Amino acid sequence: MGAQDQLLDRGPGVATQRRARGQRAYWAGVAAEAAVERTYLARGAQLLQRRWRGKAGEIDLIFSDPLSGEGALIFTEVKAARTHASAAHALRPAQARWLCLAGQEFAAGRPTGQLTPMRFDLAMVDGQGQVALVQNAIGEF
| Residue 140: per-residue pLDDT | 45
Mean pLDDT of the chain: 87
Number of Cβ within a 10 Å radius of residue 45: 21
Kindly tell me if the per-residue pLDDT of 68 is higher than 80. Answer: no
The domains located in the chain, with CATH, are 12-134 (3.40.1350.10)
Number of Cβ within a 10 Å radius of residue 129: 11
| Residue 115 or residue 26, greater confidence | 115
SS3 content of the chain, % helix, strand, coil (to 5): 45, 25, 30
Kindly tell me if the per-residue pLDDT of 6 is higher than 80. Answer: no
